[in-house]
Structure 1
Amino acid sequence: MMQPLEIVTSVIRDPELVDAALASKAWPFEEARKLLERAKKLGKSEILFETGYGPSGLPHIGTFGEVARTTMVRHAFSLMSDLPTRLICFSDDLDGLRKIPDNVPNKELIRPYLNQPLTKVPDPFGKFESFGQHNNAMLRAFLDQFGFEYDFFSATECYRSGLFDQALLRVLECYDEVMAIMLPSLREERQQSYSPFLPISPRTGHVLQVPIEERKVDAGTIVYKDPETGELVEQPVTGGQCKLQWKADWAMRWYALGVDYEMSGKDLIDSVKLSSRICSVLGGEPPDGFNYELFLDEMGQKISKSKGNGLTIDEWLRYASPDSLQLYMFQSPRKAKRLYFDVIPKAVDEYFTFLGKYPEQDLKEKLGNPVWHIHSGEPPASNLPISFALLLNLVSASNSSDRDVLWGFVRRYAPDASPEAHAEFDRLVDYAIQYFHDFVRPNKSFRAPSDLERRALEALEQRLATCEPTASAEAIQEMLYEVGKDAGFETLRDWFKALYEVLLGQEQGPRFGSFVALYGVAETRALIAAALSGKLG
């Protein structure tokens, strides 16, 4: 039996760290505390985490988010308990191919294999024995890219090896109870043909969705009509000759493997409830977990793989590091968030802000800092000379993709900065150039200044002419305030908004005093002159 919680945690070498973890309000620790109670209740000797993947398509940003968040909970739990943990990434590759994906080559090659298990469909990319194996390899490479620790499970291997045989026989025993749970959730038409078992036809190899005519519990078989010949077929439910409909399959996996924790999207709340009831009927304990909110696109619509709206993993990593994406996944998982290009700069700067604060924080604050969870308790050091947002505006104003030119601006602002001493920032330079050219430049929209704004800009240019080239950002910011007040703007916000729209061609921007100090006093005067003469548009 599991030892009491206080004894479990006493084996951790740093009691202060354990106490802080047990009291932390960070959501991974809240989830981990639920697992501690589960371990006590069930007498667990191991805690098993699971994430699921449907390999009919390529891995996507939701796959990353689920594995990243689960890994954060797993690490939080490891801080509180000495119980071993595992993470299973499960691929439902025995599922039948229902339609040909839009984003694959050689569609005619796989057309004859519709309704066959994914591991029986030829690989349209010509790299693996099957389409399922191809997508599994893509999933594993995808997860390995981010350094996740996991055990990979293939549904095909689990079913055919006999690993699920006892659980499948248990589903057969509880067939009526499973049907009683599922049928009320289905449309009337679907009720007529539904069965939790999907026999794999020995004649065609198809994964069949057919009603069950008879079940023979003692023999471990089901009887169904071949949909093409009408003949009755008796078939074992074991040995990979049947698979389960996905909600029953989900429950069976939880039961067979002893899964303790699995999270899922808000759109699967009802499915989690149904699968949990089935798991309980089988005699298992449904896993803990929580339902995270879904991501939205720029229009506030739910992101969909079939629509292709929102950001992909590759698109995010084109403009920013995996760490910034993990931060975005960590923050407010139960809150719907827009996942579009314009969230990237803010996520990058927030990540480095959290990273910069970490060394000076006390233990409680560190455990609540996202970078602790992103880096499994060992965040790297960081020393950025300027923010990513400011760097983006430098690229925009200088209209330069030359890294040496950009580093020249940065060194003038921060003389000790260099690519060698600031390798992390050096990578940001490349990200900023790419982000500007792909996203900022196409959306730039300069406007002419109003009469009030023109007079203010002329006054600013004259004041800058009296500035030392090495004037501090604070001194320049104070000058900006004075010019705005003297010009008669109703609010200084209107003044700074005008600076962004007239000089930078965007609705918002950095602290302008810092921008001038970075870009240069003389260069900013030239920028104002170009705007006043109508050359920027």
Structure 2
Amino acid sequence: MSELREIAMKSKAWPFDEARKLLKRFKKGTPEKGYVLFETGYGPSGLPHIGTFGEVARTAMIQHAFTVLSDIPTKLVSFSDDLDGMRKVPGNVPQQEMMEEHLQKPLTDVPDPFGTHDSFGAHNNAMLRRFLDTFGFEYEFYSSTEYYRSGAFDQVLLRAVEKYDEIMAVMLESLRAERAQTYSIFLPISPKSGRVLYVPMKSVNAVDGTITFDDEDGEETTLPVTGGNVKLQWKPDFGARWAALGVDFEMYGKDHSTNTHIYDKICRILGAPAPAHYFYEMFLDEKGEKISKSKGNGVSIDEWLTYASAESLSYFMYQKPNTAKRMHFDVIPKAVDEYHQQLRAYVDQEPAQQLNNPVYHIHKGDVPQSDMVVPFAMLLNLASVSSAETKDAMWGFINKYAPDASPEANPVMDEAAGFAVRYYHDFVKPTKVFRTPSDQERAALTDLMAGLKDVDVAKAMIDKKNADMGKEPADLSAYALDNGDDLQALVFAVGKNHGFENLRDWFQAIYEVLLGASQGPRFGGFAALYGVDETIALIESGLKGELLA
């Protein structure tokens, strides 16, 4: 066993933990089909949302962890339930009236309201595949419509006819009495209207593989279950799909967890072992409501990529999958900076620590180095105080702070500068609220300005702070007004010297008076980036009340 595999066997990272559980199922080696199948499901009743990405990203992380632990080949499949009937018109698509005319028809038979694809289902499938391709996932795309209509599911459907009573018994246990009276595992597709019908069966014939029911007009109709004439209800469909494809692992949201025993039983009835599962907590919008494809609430994939990198989104998805996540725009800057913190930490970590680092799983072990010489949160504040309109304006400040950096040498930093300008104008600028300082804050800001103007004054302030705290004088021989750490020491000393018992109140005052926000960057580093002279001018404007306008 390789050294890496030995370390991975003991790693506490959740992808390795899940991969180890899955590996126990294959003690005899490679399964008969030749690979371990990881599946993710997609319901194309609405546009793909960020939760869909999270499901695929996390599954891919477990898949990679499995390949580290084992030489058994793997495959990742993204399966679209596009033969489902459109039960309601999503609120975030055009041509609502036209869409209403096609309710209950399979999504691949509903015209595309955007006019770019053969059907609404095809449009949403294309959206799914585009973003999976954008993130570089290695996957195969399977369509429910194709599998039902091509005959690929015929064998499992005929098996479902044979086992109809047994599967119905599983389902009836979970249904209310009223629903049970009309329930059938089969949903025929009307040969007249083309709609997916929720109707009771008059008979199910296991000999010739047909079902008989009354169509919408009341006419008794018999259809073969094969060839795309019927589809399975969604719970039986889960189990049947697992059986037909030989799925070994599927991850899904916690809202499915109460139905898992049903899916598993049906899969076993149809002759296949149930796959391993992993449940993740739900994605919520800023109001704490579950993200919905039809509502389009929460942050979309395209919106995240408008303001931050794909890698930062993957980092967000890696963190605590068993904890509900609020998907709103405020989480983006934090995710960006934490991702780059992990990149920088990875370089100096021992192998065991590296395998526990999120970036190892995001990049499948091929981890790049960070070229972010300035944190994203600081870039946002720089964009704010400089009223930057383009990333080129940002580089004028960045180069003061890091003369060797450039858009060519630091492409990720260059991209982040553009993201910061965009994010600032769309989210920060509209919410900025400046205030005037209190008497205590005004005196402290005046002293801070004096220390920024004269290095000797700054040193004296730091010495006073140390003396008042009973500390030995610091060695300030190398103190400089262009060093972020030294400037931070000055800010800290001024707060202490002016009696701020909780220095958090002092820093909050700086942010609210000078930046128009209640939170902000490490101010010493920000002053070094923005420029000492520029910071002095900013403080003067804040003291005069000019920023209030």
TM superposition score category, shorter chain reference:
over 0.9
Q: Aligned-pair distance for 1:349?
A: 0.5
Alignment gaps of 5+ in structure 2: 457-479
State the distance in 2 between where 1:415 and 1:113 align: 61
Residue aligning to 1:414: 402
Q: Secondary structure at the match of 1:185?
A: coil
Q: Aligned-pair distance for 1:111?
A: 3.7
Residue aligning to 2:110: 121
Structure 1 residues 499 and 110, CA, compared in 2 at 3 Å: closer, same or farther? closer
Q: Deviations over 1:465-502 (max 9, x none)?
A: 21398531122111112211111112222111111111
Residue aligning to 1:486: 497
Residue aligning to 1:338: 326
Structure 1 residues 383 and 121, CA, compared in 2 at 3 Å: closer, same or farther? closer
User: Aligned ranges for residues 271-310 of structure 1 at < 5 Å?
Assistant: 271-310=259-298
Matched, 1:39 2:26: yes
Q: Secondary structure at the match of 2:27?
A: helix
Alpha-carbon contact 1:122-1:131 (below 8 Å) kept: yes
Matched, 1:30 2:17: yes
State the distance in 1 between where 2:453 and 2:359 align: 43
Residue aligning to 1:4: none
Please point out which of 515, 519, 523 is paired with 1:504: 515
Q: Deviations over 1:252-288 (max 9, x none)?
A: 0001111000000011111222211211222221111
Alignment gaps of 5+ in structure 1: 1-9
User: Aligned ranges for residues 139-288 of structure 1 at < 5 Å?
Assistant: 139-229=128-218, 231-288=219-276
Which is worse superposed, 246-255 or 308-317? 308-317
Q: Deviations over 1:302-358 (max 9, x none)?
A: 223344332111111111000000000011000112211111111001111111111
Q: Aligned-pair distance for 1:41?
A: 6.2
Identity of aligned residues (%): 58
Q: Aligned-pair distance for 1:106?
A: 3.2
Matched, 1:384 2:395: no
Q: Secondary structure at the match of 2:167?
A: helix
State the distance in 2 between where 1:430 and 1:171 align: 55
Q: Deviations over 1:135-187 (max 9, x none)?
A: 22222122111111111111111112211111111111221222222123223
User: Aligned ranges for residues 429-440 of structure 1 at < 5 Å?
Assistant: 429-440=417-428
Alpha-carbon contact 2:452-2:481 (below 8 Å) kept: no
AA aligned opposite 2:366: E
Matched, 1:394 2:382: yes
Q: Secondary structure at the match of 1:262?
A: strand
Which is worse superposed, 111-120 or 166-175? 111-120
State the distance in 2 between where 1:35 and 1:387 align: 39
Structure 1 residues 160 and 308, CA, compared in 2 at 3 Å: closer, same or farther? closer
Q: Aligned-pair distance for 1:405?
A: 2.9
Which is worse superposed, 341-350 or 122-131? 122-131
State the distance in 2 between where 1:157 and 1:404 align: 49
AA aligned opposite 1:123: D
Please point out which of 79, 88, 91 is paired with 1:99: 88
Structure 1 residues 202 and 362, CA, compared in 2 at 3 Å: closer, same or farther? same
Which is worse superposed, 326-335 or 485-494? 485-494
Residue aligning to 1:7: none
State the distance in 1 between where 2:289 and 2:145 align: 35
Please point out which of 363, 368, 371 is paired with 2:351: 363
Between Structure 1 and Structure 2, how many residues are aligned?
523
Alpha-carbon contact 2:19-2:63 (below 8 Å) kept: yes
Q: Aligned-pair distance for 1:435?
A: 0.6
Structure 1 residues 104 and 307, CA, compared in 2 at 3 Å: closer, same or farther? closer
Q: Deviations over 1:58-77 (max 9, x none)?
A: 11111111111111111111
State the distance in 2 between where 1:115 and 1:513 align: 61
Structure 1 residues 494 and 102, CA, compared in 2 at 3 Å: closer, same or farther? closer
Task: Normalising by structure 1, report the TM-score.
Answer: 0.94
State the distance in 1 between where 2:312 and 2:89 align: 34
State the distance in 1 between where 2:112 and 2:485 align: 61
Q: Secondary structure at the match of 2:181?
A: helix
State the distance in 2 between where 1:470 and 1:454 align: 21
AA aligned opposite 2:542: A
State the distance in 1 between where 2:96 and 2:327 align: 31
Structure 1 residues 298 and 135, CA, compared in 2 at 3 Å: closer, same or farther? closer
Please point out which of 311, 314, 317 is paired with 1:323: 311
Alpha-carbon contact 1:254-1:287 (below 8 Å) kept: yes
Please point out which of 111, 120, 124 is paired with 1:135: 124
Q: Secondary structure at the match of 1:193?
A: coil
Task: Normalising by structure 2, report the TM-score.
Answer: 0.92
Q: Aligned-pair distance for 1:425?
A: 0.2
Q: Aligned-pair distance for 1:107?
A: 3.6
Please point out which of 22, 31, 51 is paired with 2:40: 51
State the distance in 2 between where 1:386 and 1:156 align: 49
Structure 1 residues 474 and 108, CA, compared in 2 at 3 Å: closer, same or farther? closer
Matched, 1:524 2:535: yes
Alpha-carbon contact 2:47-2:127 (below 8 Å) kept: yes
AA aligned opposite 2:17: E
State the distance in 2 between where 1:460 and 1:254 align: 66
Q: Secondary structure at the match of 1:189?
A: helix
Alpha-carbon contact 2:29-2:72 (below 8 Å) kept: no
Alpha-carbon contact 2:30-2:72 (below 8 Å) kept: no
Residue aligning to 2:463: none
Matched, 1:471 2:460: no
State the distance in 2 between where 1:21 and 1:275 align: 31
State the distance in 2 between where 1:494 and 1:121 align: 58
Structure 1 residues 42 and 422, CA, compared in 2 at 3 Å: closer, same or farther? closer
State the distance in 2 between where 1:302 and 1:200 align: 31
State the distance in 2 between where 1:301 and 1:224 align: 39
CA RMSD of aligned residues (A): 1.7
Q: Aligned-pair distance for 1:245?
A: 0.4
Residue aligning to 1:405: 393
Which is worse superposed, 453-462 or 254-263? 453-462
State the distance in 2 between where 1:366 and 1:43 align: 28
State the distance in 1 between where 2:510 and 2:369 align: 35
Alpha-carbon contact 1:31-1:289 (below 8 Å) kept: no
Q: Aligned-pair distance for 1:98?
A: 2.0
Residue aligning to 1:83: 72
Q: Secondary structure at the match of 1:341?
A: coil
